[in-house]
Structures are given as C-alpha cells and as structure tokens.
Amino acid sequence: MTGTLLNIATVLIGGMIGLFFGARIPDKLKATVIAGMGLFTAAMGLQMFLKTENPLIVLGALLIGTLLGEWWRIEDGLQNLGRFLEQRFSKEAEAGSNKFVRGFLTASLLFCVGPLTILGSIQDGLTGDYNLLAVKSVLDGFAALAFASTLGVGVLFSTIIILVYQGGISLLAAQLNSIVSASMMNELTATGGVILLGLAISSLLEIKKIRVGNMLPGLAVAPLIVWVLTLF
C-alpha cells in the first residue's frame, strides 16, 4: 500500500497547486495543456493496444465488458458519486454544472487505467517494491496539476478511486499473481489501452462523448477469455 499512498499524496499536492495557481494560467494555455494530455493519453493507449497477441480477444472483452458496464450502470454510478461529493464539498459548484463530475471522472479513469497501475500494484503488494508506482505517482502529480487548474476540485476526489481500486489490487496481489499469466496481462493491458484511447477522445479532446466508464469490466473479462481459450 506504500505506493498507493504515495500516489494519493502526489495527486493531492499536484491538484492543490493547480487549484491555487490555476487562476494565473491563461485559459488558452489550460486548453492547450489538456489537449496535449489528451494526445499523449491517446498515444499511450495505442501503444498499450499494440501489445495484444490477439485483437479479437480485446474486441470480445470490450463488447462483453461494455454490456456488463451498461447493465451495472457503472458510469452513472461514478457520476452520481461525483455529484454527491460536489453537493457536499464543492463551494464553487453552480446549478447544472458538470465541471466537478467531469474532473472526477476524467482523473479517476486516467489514474486507474494502465499497465503501471496493475503491474505496480502487484509488485508493491507482493514485495513492497513500489518503484513502478513511484514513477506513476510523478506522472499523476503533474497530470493532476494540469487537470485541477482546468477541471477544478473534482480531480482531488479521484484519490478515493485510487485508494479503492489501486489499493485493492495491492491487497489481492498474491492471489492475482498466482492466477494471471503473461498472455492474460498482455490482453488486459491492450484492453486498457483502448479504454484510455476512448477517454482521450471523450473527455480530454472532446471529439465525441463516449461512456468510457462502462467499458471498465472489460479489464476483468480479457484475462477470463484468455483462460477459457487455454482450456481448448
């Protein structure tokens, strides 16, 4: 859990710096920074997808995962959580504004989807070595600074998702490590890459609205498909 706590600290520090000094940053610069992060996120997602050994597995994982996500209404749940936190803690919220929710969703998905999250959490949970999560923490801290200056205080509350998701993986690392093979990890990473690409298109570049949160079950479905295929 050391790496997760470090990650939370850097997001909070970066986010608070972004909030306090964000007013001094020109709007055009903020928009350019977010667009740059969007392009980087899209490129990183594409790089992750190229690690797949069978694109059909990724497609199947996304289709099944999206069906499950729509059934469970994951994105609606995240949005409702964001609105609840907005009503309780955000003094700047305006009636009908979704800025807090957008910041919360964007930061939560970006900070929790990726190979560093999975691999780093497993390594931290098994051996106490949090080097990978330390690298992720630095990246997330800078991202939180940029996002908070534009999207507001909702970015800071993404630390709740980091604690639950990333911390949960660390606690279950021993069991996961004994089950997940290299092929499973490759397809999981590739699926996460597509989700990151969707996040970039939807929330960062704002090209087309995509309910990316409902695709998250695909991260669990991809290894299951690989496991089923190995039985035949």
Say what the pLDDT of residue 66 is.
95
**86-129 tens-digit pLDDT:** 666 555 545 445 678 878 888 887 788 666 787 788 778 877 78
Task: Please answer whether residues 116 and 132 qualify as being in contact, where contact means their C-beta atoms are separated by less than 8 angstroms.
Answer: yes
pTM for the structure as a whole? 0.77
The whole-angstrom separation of Cα 224 and Cα 139 is: 30
Say what the pLDDT of residue 74 is.
85
Say what the pLDDT of residue 94 is.
52
Amino acid at 65: G
Q: Is the dihedral of CA 137, 138, 140, 144 positive or negative?
A: positive
Binned average pLDDT, 10 residues per bin, the chain of 232 residues: 90 90 76 82 88 95 95 85 66 58 81 74 80 85 85 87 88 77 88 87 86 88 94 86
Say what the pLDDT of residue 105 is.
80
Say what the pLDDT of residue 50 is.
94
Say what the pLDDT of residue 96 is.
46
Say what the pLDDT of residue 95 is.
47
Q: Is 160 exposed, middle or buried (0-12, 13-18, 19+ CB in 10 A)?
A: middle
What is the full DSSP assignment across 9-46?
HHHHHHHHHHHHHGGGS-HHHHHHHHHHHHHHHHHHHH
